[in-house]
A = this chain, B = another copy of it.
């Protein structure tokens, strides 16, 4: 399973930061991401992007000389979540309850607000 790669990819703080940027911007070019990541240089961001892509956590869309990256919710992230839920039998309700409105930019009501 490539969940191994995904776990490894998720272990790096910079990569999680990149995922955060992607989650907030929905889609971003490599350069735009690198601008928002100040802890490391553009080269490192590029490498991290590759790791995330190979791990199946983000998707890539090429357009001209730009490459737009975006979160891939259907990728190996699902495996990771499933695995985690198998090991830690955390109630899904509790988890969704712990994710109220911490994202002002996201209007995705995936988890039923209030009482689902």
Contacts and interface: CB of A to CB of B under 8 A. Distances in A.
Contacts of A19: 87
In this complex, which of A11, A16, A74, A110 has the most chain B Cβ atoms within 10 angstroms of its Cβ? Answer: A110
- Tier of interface size on chain A: 35 or more
Contact of A16 (B7, B92, B102): B7
A57 B90 CA distance: 12
A23 B84 CA distance: 10
A78 interface: yes
Interface of A: 1, 3-4, 7-8, 10-11, 13, 16, 19-20, 22-23, 57, 71-74, 77-78, 80-92, 94-96, 98-99, 102-103, 106, 108-112, 114
